[in-house]
Amino acid sequence: MNIGEASAASGVSAKMIRYYEQIGLIRPAARTDSGYRVYAPSEVETLRFIRRARDLGFSVEEMGTLLALWQDKGRESADVKRLALQHVAEIEKRIHELEGMARTLRHLAGHCHGDERPDCPILDDLATLSDAETAAPARKPALRGRR
C-alpha cells in the first residue's frame, strides 16, 4: 500500500511516517520505480504499534526501545515491565506537577477581581520570582506555595 493507505490503516499521519523513517525509528519503505513509498502489512502493524505507544505518551527514544523489545522474541518481559513502570512514574510526577499548577492558578484567579480595574494578582504573581527561582535559574521554576 502507498503512504496514504498506510497512514489511514495505522492512524499515523503521512508526515509522521516520513519523520519516523528520517530519524530511523522505522526502516525506510520500499520504493516503486517512480519513487513512491510502498508499505507491507507488517510495516503497517509496526506503525500501529508506534501509534499506540505514542498515545500512551512514550518518547521517540522509548518507542525505539519498545519496538526493539517487541521485535526480539527472546526478550525478557521484565525489561518491558521496567520500562512501562518508569513511564508510569514519570506520568504520575507530571500529574502531580499539573495539579500543583492548577491549584496555584485557581488560588490566583480566586483573588483576582475580574473587573474593570487594572489590579491583577495573576499578572503580579507571574512577574515575581521567588527566592528559590532567582537562586537557581537553570532549573525549572518551582511552584510557589500558594495552594
29's grid cell: 519503505
H or E element that contains 57: none
132 C-beta neighbours (distance < 10 Å), count: 11
| Range list of H helices, 56-130 | 60-71, 77-110, 121-126
Closest to 142 in 3D by CA, of 110, 100, 108:
100
Task: List, for residues 32-84, the tens digit of each pLDDT value.
Answer: 999 999 999 999 999 999 999 999 999 999 999 999 999 999 999 999 999 99
What global pTM score does this model have?
A: 0.76
Half-sphere exposure of 3 (CA within 13 A, CB side): 17
Tell me if residue 76 falls in helix, strand or coil.
Answer: coil
Task: List, for residues 107-141, the tens digit of each pLDDT value.
Answer: 999 999 989 989 898 999 999 876 666 666 555 54
